Structure formats: C-alpha cells, structure tokens
Amino acid sequence: MHYIARLLAATQLSLLAACSHLEQIVSSESTDDSTPASEAGTQTGAPESSSSVDVDQLAMQETTDNDQTLSEITRAEAHSDSQHAGEQYHNGQYLNGRDESAGILITPSDPAIARDPAELIPKKDVWNRMRASFKLDMELTNPRIESQLNWYAKHQSYLDRTFERSSLYMYHIVSEAERRGLPMELALLPVVESAFDPFAYSHGRAAGIWQFIPGTGKHYGLRQTWWYDGRRDIVASTEAAFNYLSDMAKYFKGDWLLALASYNSGAGTVQRAIRKNKARGKPTDFWNLDLPRETRAYVPKLLAIAKLVYKPEQYGVTLFPIDDKPYFDVVQLESQIDLSQAARLAKIDVDDLYILNPGYNQWATDPLGPHRLVLPIDRVEDFKKAYAELPKEQRVNWTRYRVKAGDSLISIAKKFKTTPQVVKDVNRIRGSLIRQGQQLLIPSSYEGADYYALSADNRLESKQSKVTGAAGTTRIEYTVKSGDTLWDISRAYHVNVRKLAKWNGMAPGDVLSPGKKLVVWTKVNLAKSTTSPTPTTSAFSNREIIRKVGYRVRQGDSLYLIANKFNVSVNDLVKWNSINKSSILRPGQRLSIYVDVTEIN
C-alpha cells in the first residue's frame, strides 16, 4: 500500500491506559490554565497587509468574524463540554485516533511505529535542520510549560501519530520558515493547532492544519468557495500563517511570544491586556498578562513541543523519522481537472491525492483556480507527461443536458454536483433565465460520488454514519429548508445546538444550504406526531419575529440584568453562550441572544 494510503488505514491504536490517566488530568486540572486539554487554534481577524497592523481594525474584525455563541478568543472554554472523561480532546480530534472533523480514521498503521523510531532516523533528518534554526529560549522554565511537557512526554503514541502525519508536509513548512528567517519553532505550531490533521475543523469554524477562521483566512488571501477552501491548502495556508505571524511579530516589536498569543486570541486582545498592565504598573511580557485561559496555555504548548524536539532524549521521547528532503512538489495546471483523472495520470490513489490537496472540497479542482496540484515528487514527471498528452476536453467529463419544465440553474447545478456560476460560465448565460428545451453543457465527474471518499460531502457522510446519540434517542434525517438555522432545528427537536453541529461536522454558526441533509438524534416521538417537528411547525411557529442579537457586555452587567432586558431566561443565556451561571462577565464580551424582537424591554 502506498505510504500516504497508510494514513487512512482504519487501525485504532489502543489508549485505554492513557485514557484512564487523561480522565484524571481533566478532572484534576479543570481549573488549571495550563491544562493540555484546552483546545488551541483560535484566530481572530487581521489586515491583509504584511507591512502594518491596525489593532483597532483587528478588534473590529474580531467582532465581525464572531458569529459564534462565544467570542472566538474564548473558544477553548466553549469546548470544555467536549472533553470527554476517558478521552482527551485535542485540536479537533480525540487522541484515540478519531478524526473529529470527518469521523474518518487517519491514524498511521506503519509497522515502523512499533519499533524504536530513533533507530530509523537518518543522519540527515528534518529534526536536526529544525533545531539548528530554533530562536526562542529553550532554557526558559515555567510551571505552565512544565505542565504541557509532562503531558506530551507521557503520550508517545500521540506524538508518533502527529509527527507521522506531519512527515508529508514538514519539509515544505521548514523550508518556508527558513527562507523567511523565522524562528523554526513556528514550524511546530500545527501540532498545537490541529495535530497536523489536514481536515481538522473546530466548532469555532477554524479549518486546516493552521486553523484559520473564515475572516482571517480571507484577509490573508485564502479563498473559500464551494469547490475550494484555501484554509486547508497546505501551501497557501502555510504562506498565510507565516504572513500573519510576521505581522504580529512586527507589531509587537519582535516579541514572538506576544505574536503567538495574538495568533491565538487576536492582536486586540493582547494589546488590551498590555494596556491594562501598563495602567497598573505591571510587567507587560506574555507571562504577566491577563489573557484568556486558552491563550495562557497556547504559548506554553508550543514551547513544550519545541523543547521535546530540541532534546527528545532528555524527556524520554522519540521522534518519528522524517528525511530532510521534499516529499511533494507543486505542479501548475491550465484549467480544472477531475481529481480521479489527476490521480490516474499521477498513478496514485485518489485518497492520496486528497491528503496532499485537502483544499479541494469536491470531485475536481476549482474552475476559477488555483490551477495547481500537490503531488509526490517521484510522480511529478510522469504526471506532467501524461497531462500534456491528455486533450483539454477530457480533463473533466462533459454532459449534454436538455432543460426540462421546472428546471433552474440551481437545481441543474445540484444534480451534477457543480455550481450555478459554472453552468452559466460554460454556457455563456447572462442572468439566470433558462428555457425549456435549451441544451446545456455541464462539467461532471468521471466517477460516482462514492469514489471521491475524501471529498467534503463524503467526509461529512462518513462522520454522520459513525456518530451515535444518547440512550433513548432516535436517528432521523432532516432536510434543510430555506431560512433554517442550526439553532431553529435544535430547538424544534429539543437537542443541544452544539451537539447538532457536532453530529454533522459543522460549527453552530455555520450557514445552512436548502436541501442539505442533517442527522439529528432526538427523543421526540415521531410515531405519535401527526407531523414531524420542524422549525416552522413546532417551537417556532412565529420564527419570523425571532432574531439573533449580538450584545456587548457593559460595565455593571450581569446575566440576570441582561436576561431581564431581553425578556429571556438566565438558563437560555447560559446555554446559548456555553457559559456557566457563575461566569464573570467582562465589559466588551460578546453574547448571542435569541429574542422575540416585539418583546424587547
């Protein structure tokens, strides 16, 4: 089996002993700022320019990007209910090898892991090259760093899986950091962000190995369309992440710890903490700032990983061997190509192609670009030769379709797994009017939908098929209607909105498309209902007056006062925002409130 294909092997590594220990960690350190269980990877908005950074603009973007029930800077706290006893949740996946974003096992099954990896490390490996360019203080000690070090050092199997996944991408990331003269520790940031899972997707809507949220990704040139998500593109997202980190370092005058904190919680959050300390005459270095809990653990996590890489023998760990040579190369294309065709030309499995090109959501590359593929370096020449010989019209399959009564561009595009804009562009249609009997040329896939196992739709279907509900619940499928939201549907079926999102590989604030199939595990007795509960026939018969309101906490506010102001209950406020009744509200904190706009006080 090809090396990449092994990353898809459904081999579940046993972590029963580790899980028992982790349960104690979660229980005993639930209030510890440095607990490794907190999820990292939150990002906030930042300007696209790499020459200057406007912190006020950043703060504004933080607010704009946040359509979650909690501010993105406190996403780890919102995830506290996802940290299961006996399972360690870490950056979008559980440590038992389950891919939280897709429900697919991508744990490596390489027999080499059973041996001592130190015996396999070549004389010239990427780790030695990395250590030579470390620039942060590897002698720095702090209880928060030690806590993370202890956790990582006790979980060799987790390090093995994470670093084997990284082996496909690490040479490129290290080379890019070296080219820019950046601290090489930054190349390890995806360990903290995503455990190098290219399909990682958090409930805060962060995606890819660098965990960009939508707004920040767009600021740094990462396009996000139905066809393509640049946040998962290994090459594009690495460039964007290093641009972002460089911007932050420049703004904070070369202080990389503050830059890293800003990558996690936003420059505005860090700057406010600095101003607060200055006003009180306190030090303004990272270790003395009053930052969100997640951020207080985030920087120590990276420093801990860097220390393990710097001196693995000191901490009793081994590093998965990664040669200091490129695994892949980027091949430029002329136009859209079916990924099954590309895999055939490169003589690799289509799943292998998706692992190297996780940015492509569908069965083909984006017709609007980028027109490129990442391929194993030993397959590049064969691909180029075969690609040059392939007629352009055979790069994707073409179907002639006669418009029928009732057809629309949307329905036709959905039928052929493409977009209305592609249909319009190919057929040179202006506007949205089509006529019955009109002949259309539609690009379509060469293979059936199931062939593209790692497309976005198939990853979602795989996840939906694997999740199970609580005892006493029934699995149903709900078809999204125009105007539906996850919150509406969760209320109609009496389920938690975060659980509903999790069952369907989404974030609570994601926009739903009409026709999308959602899995719901509910206790609603459908057999006794004359009609299935839906957002429009059950709890929300008057949903046209229910609106989501973003509220900024003011000085002196309490949950009771806010609930009274908007005519809602404190329990609802707590549930909508995933906070505790005892939580202390801070001025400027954003809350999401669902209100009847005719009854606001």
Query: 380-389 and 339-346 are packed helices; what angle lies between their axes, rounded to 10 degrees?
Result: 120
Same domain, 263 and 160: yes
First vs last C-alpha separation in the chain: 65
454 within some domain:
no
Per-residue pLDDT tens digits for 143-188: 999 999 999 999 999 999 999 999 999 999 999 999 999 999 999 9
CATH number, domain of 509, equals 3.10.350.10
DSSP letter, residue 19: H
E strands within 339-491?
Answer: 372-376, 397-402, 439-444, 474-479
Q: Which of 87, 100, 193, 239 is catalytic?
A: 193
Q: How many CB atoms lie within 10 A of CB 226?
A: 16
Q: Which of 285, 315, 345 is the last residue of a domain?
A: 315
Per-residue pLDDT tens digits for 72-119: 322 333 233 223 222 333 333 333 333 333 333 333 333 333 444 444
Cα–Cα nearest to 10, from 114, 115, 117, 103: 103
The mean predicted confidence, pLDDT, of the chain is 75
Maximum distance among all Cα pairs of the chain, rounded to whole angstroms: 77
Looking up tokens 């940031």 gives 189
* 3-state SS, residue 372: strand
459 within some domain:
no
- The span from the CA of 579 to the CA of 570, in Å, is 11
- The pTM (predicted TM-score) of the whole model is 0.61
Same domain, 517 and 492: yes
Q: Which amino acid is located at 229 in the chain? A: D
pLDDT at 460 over 70: no
Q: How far from chain centre, in Å, is Cα 558?
A: 33
- Say what the pLDDT of residue 516 is: 77
343 pLDDT band, cuts 50/70/90, is: very high
262 within some domain:
yes
Q: Which residues contact 402 (CB under 8 A, 6 or more apart)?
A: 437, 438, 439, 440
Same domain, 556 and 522: no
Residue range 124-133: mean pLDDT, rounded:
94
428 pLDDT band, cuts 50/70/90, is: confident
Q: How many CB atoms lie within 10 A of CB 294?
A: 23
45 within some domain:
yes
- The span from the CA of 4 to the CA of 26, in Å, is 33
Looking up tokens 């001196």 gives 311
Q: Which of 477, 501, 528 is the last residue of a domain?
A: 528
Q: Which of 262, 284, 315 is the last residue of a domain?
A: 315
Are 443 and 426 a contacting pair, CB within 8 Å? Answer: yes
- Say what the pLDDT of residue 269 is: 95
Residue range 534-539: mean pLDDT, rounded:
39
pLDDT at 320 over 70: yes
- Say what the pLDDT of residue 525 is: 53
Same domain, 274 and 355: no
- Say what the pLDDT of residue 130 is: 96
Q: Which amino acid is located at 269 in the chain? A: T
267 within some domain:
yes
- Say what the pLDDT of residue 578 is: 83
- Out of 252-266, 384-398, 576-590, which region has the weakest mean confidence (pLDDT)? 576-590
Cα–Cα nearest to 540, from 599, 596, 478: 596
Per-residue pLDDT tens digits for 203-228: 778 899 999 999 999 999 999 988 89
4 pLDDT band, cuts 50/70/90, is: low
- The span from the CA of 56 to the CA of 376, in Å, is 43
Same domain, 347 and 245: no
- Say what the pLDDT of residue 448 is: 59
- The count of domains in the chain is 5
* 3-state SS, residue 146: helix
Q: How far from chain centre, in Å, is Cα 505?
A: 10
* Domain span at 419: 397-444
81 - beta bridge partners?
none
pLDDT at 132 over 90: yes
Q: How many CB atoms lie within 10 A of CB 311?
A: 12
Cis peptide leading into 370, omega within 30 of 0?
Answer: yes
Tell me how long the chain is.
601
Same domain, 135 and 111: yes
pLDDT at 449 over 60: no
- The span from the CA of 262 to the CA of 252, in Å, is 9
Same domain, 271 and 350: no
- Say what the pLDDT of residue 123 is: 52
In angstroms, the Cα distances linking 451 to 349, 362, 447, 457, 488 are 11, 11, 6, 12, 34
Percent over 90 (pLDDT), the chain:
41
- The span from the CA of 68 to the CA of 60, in Å, is 15
13 within some domain:
no
| Whether 193 is catalytic | yes
Are 524 and 531 a contacting pair, CB within 8 Å? Answer: no
- The span from the CA of 207 to the CA of 41, in Å, is 9
- Say what the pLDDT of residue 237 is: 97
Percent over 70 (pLDDT), the chain:
70
Residue range 291-301: mean pLDDT, rounded:
95
Residue range 317-322: mean pLDDT, rounded:
96
Residue range 329-356: mean pLDDT, rounded:
92
Same domain, 141 and 126: yes
Q: How many CB atoms lie within 10 A of CB 469?
A: 16
285 within some domain:
yes
pLDDT at 71 over 80: no
Same domain, 52 and 103: yes
- Out of 3-17, 232-246, 295-309, 469-483, which region has the weakest mean confidence (pLDDT)? 3-17
- Out of 276-290, 311-325, 531-545, which region has the weakest mean confidence (pLDDT)? 531-545
pLDDT at 585 over 60: yes
458 within some domain:
no
Q: What is the full DSSP assignment across 459-526?
A: HHHHHHHH----TT-EEEEEE--TT--HHHHHHHTT--HHHHHHHTT--TTPPPPTT-EEEEEE---G
Return the higher-pLDDT residue of 582 and 598.
582
* Highest mean pLDDT of the ranges 14-28, 117-131, 216-230, 416-430: 216-230
Residue 337 token pair: 């190509």
Same domain, 489 and 552: no
- Say what the pLDDT of residue 131 is: 96
- The span from the CA of 562 to the CA of 418, in Å, is 45
Give the pairing of strands 89-90 and 372-376: unpaired
Are 396 and 475 a contacting pair, CB within 8 Å? Answer: no
Radius of gyration of the chain (CA): 25
- Say what the pLDDT of residue 290 is: 96
Return the higher-pLDDT residue of 460 and 534.
460
In angstroms, the Cα distances linking 313 to 71, 99, 192, 266 are 40, 30, 21, 35
- Say what the pLDDT of residue 423 is: 87
Same domain, 87 and 161: yes
- Say what the pLDDT of residue 103 is: 31
- Say what the pLDDT of residue 45 is: 38
DSSP letter, residue 403: -
CATH number, domain of 67, equals 1.10.530.10
Same domain, 521 and 551: no
Query: 293-310 and 256-265 are packed helices; what angle lies between their axes, rounded to 10 degrees?
Result: 130
